[in-house]
Homo-oligomer: A and B are copies of this chain.
Amino acid sequence: MQIVANAESVQLQAKLFRGFGDSARLGILQALKNGPLNVTEIVAITGMSQSNTSNHLRCLRECGLVAAEQQGKYALYRLSDDRVGDLLATAESLLSDVARGIYECTRYNLPRDISQEQV
Contacts and interface: CB of A to CB of B under 8 A. Distances in A.
Query: How many copies of this protein are present in the complex?
Result: 2
Given A5-B30, A26-B10, A102-B63, A81 B97 contact: yes
Interface range for A? 35 or more
A27 B3 CA distance: 10
A113 B26 CA distance: 28
A4 B102 contact: no
Interface string A83-119: 1101110111111011111111111111000100000
Contacts of A11: 23, 110, 114
6 contacts: A17-B18, A59-B105, A61-B101, A81-B94, A83-B90, A87-B87
